[in-house]
Structure 1
């Protein structure tokens, strides 16, 4: 009798332990993120406070994450994948790294043009914030009307003035991919050659480096994502305030196609071990709180129309006309964009 009782107690303990382990496992979210912004720390901690779900993060650039996910295959522990570029979201979708999600919350709050394909089973990814690619110019050396379009960067009048980051960076490839859609490959190659001819120096650094290069006079004009520009405008450092007093910006192509937009977004990984937690996280990113934080914390525009962006500096940049080119099209044009860059020597 004693042996039977002990066996029953042991079995009950195992059952309780297993239940506790399963619950602990469900309170974890493995996040693979190409977002590397320190300001996102509060975004993640708020989610944990609200749900009790702990976030384990792997952070790397888009290409490194894509390669890691492919290598891990079915054994990948990833629950959510976040990307910071439209073309990389498209690439992740094409490579089968996402699984469809049916969510009334996400479908109600995220605009249809900022979601991945939906074949009836749900969308494979959702966009959560946007950023524009603006033209920054030196007030002392360049007239804004001379750099009013992306196409003007190839104009001979801007010879020796243009700076960009590497043409092969996803931000640049996406912009060039949209140009291919608007203007065709031949015209885009001619443009790329003109930009190379107008370089003030070989491409290097990130968008912040381009803005600072314009401010110091090393460059006359550059392209940069809006959140880098606003981040510097909001800086309290005297040296950065001084730099920003020397630059201006234009919303490119306002009389034609509109300013190129890029998005940051993500989806549930194909083999997510914690699918329920993953969907909760995506729904949290679409909440007014999180959407407002994208604006205030990282100077991006929220995609949910009801969200209040409490970022006066971002708002002071004013309204603008945005281009209307599908993300799928931008993604499909990446290969052609890279071929063009290789042919013209745009490093």
Structure 2
């Protein structure tokens, strides 16, 4: 794979100086700048980035064939699937990508590719929760946690991703029962982001919360939040059927009307390279999608993750059902 990648990237170095890739990104500019710099240094292709916090798909639809965008960089498989369903992406078939990135982290039709992964895990109070006291997602509905759990809104994509995974593993009715049990165990009404839940643990408002792994890195890098991070321990729950920890992706897609398609394909190939996998994953405190590339020392220090190997596309197919269940049990009410 590495030899194929080197050959692919080397071929781009002869491109004219005007070669460029235009990127619409959900990710903040400072988080992706290191890989943009690495790509340009490797290939000579310049990058132009627009940070699009909301309405990325709607923007691409409005721009149509006049859109300057070549690439979408985003978080969460649901956003990638949304772009695919809206018809604003196109298929990419790359030997480099197919060899480096596991099939379960790629769209089966080639419309998007996972670049990094994050676990949806439990943050547990070091003082009030014993190590190994919680081992499965299903256990979150156990009455022993009554009044002890904090989480963000049930309609947030990260929550819906976990609910969708539970539907894939356990079916709709069991997941409905699980949601009802989880709701009855909440210490307070769902609100705020994942870091706000950890702050609530630190403040003694709850004992465990559900969150993404990378937020631990974000909190440790913020002097105002380090104390929150030090109050909790990362636990990696799994599904009762023996599957591993639920993971989601930060991913990339080629836009339907990419004006610089060849350059954009070179960019996606670069994201699958060992160098970019290492740099990007370390920058955002996530796991490389390529299983042969180790996570950063900081990420590894939180413990060993065994990812659920279910195809993300299969999990994402349950998103509408997940949202319906969340609304039917009035999870946020």
Asked whether the 8 Å contact 2:138–2:239 carries over to 1, the reply is no
* TM-score, normalised by the number of residues in structure 2: 0.87
Matched, 1:338 2:323: yes
- Is contact 1:148-1:253 (8 Å) kept? yes
8 A Cα contact 1:110 1:127, kept in partner: yes
For residues 122-172 of structure 1, what are the alpha-carbon distances to aligned partners after superposition, in whole Å with 9 as ceiling and x for unaligned?
Answer: x22211111111101112223344432222222222111111111111111
Per-residue CA deviation, residues 94-139 of structure 1 (Å, 9 max, x unaligned), is: 3322212232222222222222224xxxx22211111111101112
> Which structure would you say has the larger Rg?
1
2:22 aligned counterpart, secondary structure: strand
Q: Which residue of 2 aligns with 1:18?
A: none
TM-score, with length taken from structure 1 = 0.84
Flag the structure with higher helix content: 1
Matched, 1:219 2:228: no
Instruction: Name stretches of at least 5 consecutive residues in structure 1 with no aligned partner.
Output: 1-21
For 1:228 and 1:136, locate their aligned partners in 2 and report how far apart those are by CA, in whole Å: 10
Partner of 1:60: 52
How is 1:8-157 mapped onto 2 (pairs within 5 angstroms)? Answer: 26-36=18-28, 38-61=30-53, 64-118=55-109, 123-157=110-144
- 1:298-337 matches, within 5 Å, as 298-309=284-295, 311-337=296-322
Q: How far off is 1:333 after superposition?
A: 0.5
Q: 1:283 to 1:312 in 2, by over 3 A?
A: same
C-alpha displacement of 1:276:
1.3
Indicate conservation of the 8 Å contact 2:104/2:309, yes or no: no
**Structure 2 CA distance, aligned partners of 1:141 and 1:103?**
49
Task: Tell me the alpha carbon deviations over residues 231-277 of structure 1, each in whole angstroms, 9 at most, x when there is no partner.
Answer: 334x373x544333321121102763221011111121011111111
Q: Specify the alignment match of 2:9 in structure 1.
A: none
Structure 1, 249-258 or 330-339: larger mean CA deviation: 249-258
Tell me, yes or no, if structure 1 residue 263 matches structure 2 residue 263. Answer: no
Aligned twin of 1:12? none
Return the alpha-carbon distance in structure 2 between the equivalents of residues 242 and 117 of structure 1. Answer: 42
User: Which structure 2 residue ranges, 5 or more long, are not aligned?
Assistant: 1-14
Higher RCO structure (Cα 8 Å, ≥6 apart): 2
Matched with 1:278 is 264
